[in-house]
C-alpha cells in the first residue's frame, strides 16, 4: 500500500486496543484476508475477479481492514534480517493468577518484547524478546522485566535459531503457502526486506529509489527471496481474534543423539505448526501450534508431534491471551520511546 495507515496513539498506562476489536469480519472480509495471506501484493482487481465482486468493493474492505489494524501487510522474515541479533523466550512465574493480565500488559509495553502469551500453567506467561545484542537482552531482563511487580521468576530460553515461521492461518491445511526459513541474507536483500517489512505493498520502484537500485533489481531480488523462502509478503493477523482458533506452545525435549535440526525440519512440515524455535535451556525446541479446537490440538499432539523420531518429552501451554506488536526494522524506529507502530494487539477489549 502506498499510503501509510493512521493509528490512534495509546497512552502508556491504558490497555491497548486489541486487534479485531473495531470491525466485525464478514464472509467477504475473510475471503479478502485469505487472498492477502496467500499473496500480500495481489492486486485488488485479481481478488475481485476471483471473489466475484467489484474492485471498488475489495479496495474499500481492504482499506477498512488495514485502517482498523485488523490486518497488516508485511514481509515476514528473520529478525536478523531486520537488524536483531539476539532472540529468546522468557518463561515467567508470577505471585498470583489475579495479576496475570496486568503483568502481561506491562510486558507487552516493553520495546524489546514483541510477543506475550498468558497461559496460567507451569509458567504463567511467555514473552519473546527480540534484541539488537546481548547487552540489550540483559538490560531487558534486569531493568524492565525484573522490575515488574508480581513477577517472581524468569527462565530464559535463548534461541539458537528461529527455524521456521508461518503466519498463514486462514487455511491450516497442506495447501497453504510455505513458511519462512532462517537464512543469512545479503546486505541488499536485508535492505529490501526491511522496506517491505514496513509496507508490504510499497512499489518496487519506490523501494529501488530509496535504496539507489533499479526497480528491476528489486523485483528480481524479491522473487529470489520468495523462492528461497527467506521472506513471505502477506497479511498478518491475530488468530485468536477469529474466535474459532486454539493456540499453544509445545515445549519439546529431544533424545540424544538425534539432531535438533532434523526434528525441527520434521515439525516445520506439519500444517498446524506456525513457529519453530531451537533453543538453549531445559527444552530443546519450542513449537507454536494453531488449530481450530482443543480436540484438534490433542489429535495433532498424539498423531503428529509426539510420533516424530527423536522426541522424548513434550509439555503443552495453551494460550489464554495473546499480545503482540509488529516487529519493525531497527532503523525504522527509535526504540527508546513508544510510537504508533508499537501498538499492542491482544484478544480482549480493555
Domain assignment of residue 333, yes or no: no
Question: What is the pLDDT confidence band of residue 177, given thresholds at 50, 70 and 90?
Answer: low
Q: What is the pLDDT of residue 168?
A: 65
Beta carbons of 74 and 341 less than 8 angstroms apart: no
Ranges 8-22, 57-71, 174-188, 336-350: which has the least confidence:
8-22
Could you tell me the CATH number of the domain that includes residue 153?
A: 3.30.70.920
Domain assignment of residue 36, yes or no: yes
Report the share of the chain in percent with pLDDT over 70: 83
Report the share of the chain in percent with pLDDT over 90: 67
In this structure, are 28 and 54 located in the same domain? yes
Domain assignment of residue 285, yes or no: yes
In this structure, are 88 and 53 located in the same domain? no
C-alpha–C-alpha distance, residues 108 and 31, integer Å: 30
Q: What is the pLDDT of residue 245?
A: 81
Beta carbons of 289 and 274 less than 8 angstroms apart: yes
Q: What is the pLDDT of residue 327?
A: 85
In this structure, are 45 and 121 located in the same domain? no
Q: List the grid coordinates of 179.
A: 513458511
Strand 180-181 with 113-118, pairing = unpaired
Domain assignment of residue 249, yes or no: yes
Q: List the grid coordinates of 90.
A: 522468557
Domain assignment of residue 337, yes or no: no
In this structure, are 84 and 62 located in the same domain? no
Average pLDDT of the residues of the chain: 85
Domain assignment of residue 184, yes or no: no
Q: Span 275-279, mean pLDDT?
A: 96
Domain assignment of residue 275, yes or no: yes
Q: List the grid coordinates of 98.
A: 489475579
Q: How far apart are the first and last CA of the chain?
A: 29
Residue 4 has pLDDT above 90, yes or no: no
Ranges 45-59, 62-76, 253-267: which has the least confidence:
62-76
In this structure, are 125 and 32 located in the same domain? no
C-alpha–C-alpha distance, residues 115 and 327, integer Å: 9
Residue 63 has pLDDT above 60, yes or no: yes
In this structure, are 58 and 106 located in the same domain? no
Q: Which of 25, 45, 70 is where one domain is finished?
A: 70
3-state secondary structure 282-325: CCCEEEEEEECCHHHHHHHHHHHHCCCCCEEEEEEEECCEEEEC
In this structure, are 105 and 47 located in the same domain? no
Q: List the grid coordinates of 216.
A: 528491476
In this structure, are 254 and 155 located in the same domain? yes
Please give the residue range of the domain that contains residue 50: 16-70
C-alpha–C-alpha distance, residues 76 and 52, integer Å: 29
Give the sign of the dihedral formed by CA 104, CA 109, CA 112, CA 81.
positive
**How many folded domains does the chain comprise?**
2
Phi/psi at 283 (5° precision): -110, 150
In this structure, are 301 and 281 located in the same domain? yes
Q: Span 220-241, mean pLDDT?
A: 87
Q: Which of 70, 94, 111 is where one domain is finished?
A: 70
Q: What is the pTM of this model?
A: 0.82
3-state secondary structure the chain: CCCCCCCCCCCCCCCCCCCCCCCCCCHHHHHHHHHHHHCCCCCHHHHHHHHCCCHHHHHHHHHHHHHCCCCEEEEECCHHHHCCCEEEEEEEEECCHHHHHHHHHHHHCCCCEEEEEECCCCCCEEEEEEECCHHHHHHHHHHHHCCCCCEEEEEEEEEEEEEEECCCCCCCCCCCCCCEECCCCCHHHHHHHHHHHHCCCCCHHHHHHHHCCCHHHHHHHHHHHHHCCCCEEEEECCHHHHCCCEEEEEEEEECCCCCHHHHHHHHHCCCCEEEEEEECCCCCEEEEEEECCHHHHHHHHHHHHCCCCCEEEEEEEECCEEEECCCCCHHHCCCCCCCHHHCCECCCCC
Domain assignment of residue 191, yes or no: no
Could you read off the pLDDT of 90-111 as tens digits, one per residue?
Answer: 999 999 999 999 999 999 999 9
In this structure, are 250 and 156 located in the same domain? yes
Residue 350 has pLDDT above 60, yes or no: no
Q: What is the pLDDT of residue 184?
A: 86
In this structure, are 253 and 151 located in the same domain? yes
Among candidate residues 212, 216, 194, 193, the one with its CA nearest the CA of residue 204 = 216
Q: List the grid coordinates of 344.
A: 499492542
Residue 9 has pLDDT above 60, yes or no: no
Could you tell me the CATH number of the domain that includes residue 63?
A: 1.10.10.10
In this structure, are 263 and 298 located in the same domain? yes
Ranges 12-16, 171-175, 209-213, 318-322: which has the least confidence:
12-16
Amino acid at each position: 500500500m502506498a499510503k501509510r495507515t493512521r493509528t490512534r496513539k495509546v497512552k502508556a498506562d491504558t490497555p491497548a486496543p486489541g486487534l479485531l476489536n473495531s470491525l466485525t469480519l464478514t464472509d467477504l472480509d475473510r475471503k479478502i484476508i485469505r487472498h492477502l495471506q496467500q499473496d500480500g501484493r495481489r492486486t485488488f482487481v485479481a481478488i475481485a475477479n476471483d471473489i466475484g465482486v467489484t474492485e471498488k468493493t475489495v479496495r474499500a474492505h481492504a482499506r477498512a481492514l488495514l485502517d482498523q489494524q485488523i490486518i497488516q501487510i508485511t514481509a515476514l522474515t528473520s529478525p536478523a534480517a531486520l537488524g536483531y541479533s539476539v532472540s529468546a523466550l522468557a518463561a515467567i512465574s508470577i505471585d498470583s493468577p489475579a495479576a496475570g493480565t496486568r503483568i502481561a500488559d506491562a510486558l507487552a509495553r516493553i520495546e524489546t518484547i514483541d510477543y506475550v502469551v498468558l497461559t496460567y500453567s507451569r509458567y504463567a506467561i511467555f514473552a519473546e524478546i527480540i534484541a539488537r545484542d546481548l547487552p540489550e537482552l540483559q538490560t531487558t531482563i534486569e531493568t524492565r522485566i525484573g522490575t515488574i511487580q508480581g513477577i517472581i521468576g524468569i527462565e530464559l530460553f535463548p534461541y539458537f535459531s528461529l527455524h521456521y515461521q508461518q503466519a498463514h492461518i486462514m487455511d491450516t491445511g497442506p495447501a497453504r503457502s510455505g513458511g519462512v526459513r532462517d537464512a543469512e541474507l545479503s546486505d541488499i536483500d536485508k535492505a529490501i526486506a526491511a522496506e517491505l517489512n514496513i509496507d508490504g505493498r510499497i512499489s518496487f520502484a519506490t523501494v529501488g529509489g530509496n535504496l539507489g537500485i533499479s526497480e528491476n533489481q528489486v523485483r528480481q531480488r524479491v522473487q529470489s527471496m520468495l523462492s528461497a523462502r527467506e521472506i513471505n509478503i502477506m497479511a498478518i493477523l491475530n488468530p485468536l481474534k477469529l474466535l474459532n482458533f486454539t493456540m499453544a506452545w509445545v515445549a519439546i525435549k529431544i533424545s540424544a543423539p538425534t539432531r535438533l535440526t532434523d526434528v525441527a525440519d520434521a515439525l516445520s512440515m506439519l500444517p498446524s505448526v506456525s513457529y519453530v524455535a531451537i533453543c538453549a535451556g531445559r527444552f530443546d525446541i519450542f513449537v507454536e501450534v494453531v488449530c481450530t479446537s482443543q480436540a484438534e490440538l490433542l489429535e495433532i499432539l498424539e498423531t503428529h508431534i509426539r510420533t516424530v523420531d527423536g522426541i522424548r518429552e513434550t509439555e503443552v501451554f495453551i494460550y489464554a491471551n495473546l499480545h503482540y506488536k509488529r516487529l519493525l526494522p531497527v532503523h525504522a524506529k527509535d526504540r527508546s520511546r513508544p510510537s504508533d507502530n508499537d501498538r499492542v494487539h491482544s484478544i480482549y477489549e480493555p
